[in-house]
Structure 1
Amino acid sequence: MDGKIKKIAFLGLFMALLVIATSVFRFPVPTFNLYFNLGEAVIYLVALLYGGPAGAVIGGVGSALSDVLGGYPVWAPITFAIKGAEGFVVGMLSKRYKPYFAVSAGAVLMMAGYAAAAGLLYGSGAVPLELAGDFVQTSVGGIIAIMLYKRLKKILV
């Protein structure tokens, strides 16, 4: 199979996997219109495997689509920007640094972006809950992505 076709096929599959990981494995946070999900693992994995532009497109579009489909449309444009930037940063940094550093930088960007958005939308009381949930979400996603990356990089890229 041609390399470009193989890449496009895998990116399509990863887009679908991201929507599933974000929509199906979703755990709502009581009180605020927030939720925890496993989508970070897919964003980080795509960014590590295929680089910043692919991480940005899959992260931004797939996550925003999940917000719309999951009943959180107000978050879709915010998610598009934050998750797109997160995927881009992880993918670009992974070219020069170890995956752990790249994922950590993306996680900090994501946590800061969502904390600011939650504070603007729901008030300062939402910020600690958002940060706590995002810390767990990025940590779990990062661990999963790095473990899978080490096993898949020779097969998929």
Structure 2
Amino acid sequence: MEHVMERTGTTAAYKVKMLVMTALFIALGYVATTVLMVPSPTGGYMNLGDTVVLLGAYLLGPVYGAVAGGAGPALADLLGGYGIYVPATLVIKALMGLTAAVLYQALHKKGWALVVCGVVAEAIMVVGYALFDGFLAGNLAVGLTGIPSNLVQAAFGLAASTLLALALRKSSYVRKQFPRL
């Protein structure tokens, strides 16, 4: 019985740890998204949030990474006056996190996989917002005008998350705390 309780306690402790880390990444995603909001031509804005979305995916894995990746930036939209974007941001950023995490695990956590996963996830962001902006405007051509600014955001998020993940992987403490990295 003690062995079962010990395993249950470990499982419960792991779940609490992951919930706390998810909440932390939601907060980090919110801050990274709001610290620099550069308006884009379609009515949205460029930001630094993709860095945290991708990093959270690599550290937390698919489920927790997707929740954090979607919730933090969606909260930034809600509180930043971009309420119309909340549903799209929630779905797009969650899909980014989910895709990056699943693909990263499938590619066996190789260093080069961070770039591949980031490119695929950022493609989801660029296409997702182009389609959503086109839907809002009632004209896909209008949605396509946001692609250049979203590509800039994607490039920064990809580069910053890759460099941070590579640096964090060098720490045995981080690898122990976040074995998915």
Q: Partner residue of 1:121? A: 136
**What do you get for the CA RMSD once the two structures are aligned?**
1.8
Q: Partner residue of 1:145? A: 161
> Of the candidates 75, 78, 81, which is equivalent to residue 88 of structure 2?
78
Q: Partner residue of 2:38? A: 27
- The answer for unaligned runs of 5 or more in structure 2 is 1-12, 108-112
Q: Partner residue of 1:18? A: 29
Bigger mean CA offset, 86-95 vs 11-20: 11-20
The higher radius of gyration belongs to 2
1:95-115 CA deviation, whole Å, 9 max, x = no partner?
A: 022111111111111111111
Aligned residues: 156
1:81-139 CA deviation, whole Å, 9 max, x = no partner?
A: 11111110001000022111111111111111111011111233433331111111111
Q: Partner residue of 1:47? A: 57
Distance apart, 1:58 and its partner CA: 0.7
> 2 CA distance for matches of 1:142 and 1:21?
14
Q: TM-score, normalised by structure 2?
A: 0.79
Q: Which amino acid aligns with 1:107?
A: E
Tell whether the 8 Å contact from 1:40 to 1:138 is kept in structure 2 after alignment: yes
Q: Which amino acid aligns with 1:124?
A: L
What percent identity do the matched residue pairs reach?
32
> Of the candidates 97, 107, 124, which is equivalent to residue 122 of structure 2?
107
Q: Partner residue of 2:6? A: none
The secondary structure found in structure 2 opposite 1:25 is coil
Distance apart, 1:3 and its partner CA: 4.7
* Larger RCO (CA under 8 A, 6+ residues apart): 1
Tell whether the 8 Å contact from 1:51 to 1:94 is kept in structure 2 after alignment: no
Distance apart, 1:28 and its partner CA: 1.0
Tell whether the 8 Å contact from 1:44 to 1:103 is kept in structure 2 after alignment: yes
> Of the candidates 16, 19, 33, which is equivalent to residue 8 of structure 1?
19
Q: Partner residue of 1:136? A: 152
Q: Which amino acid aligns with 1:12?
A: A
- The answer for unaligned runs of 5 or more in structure 1 is none
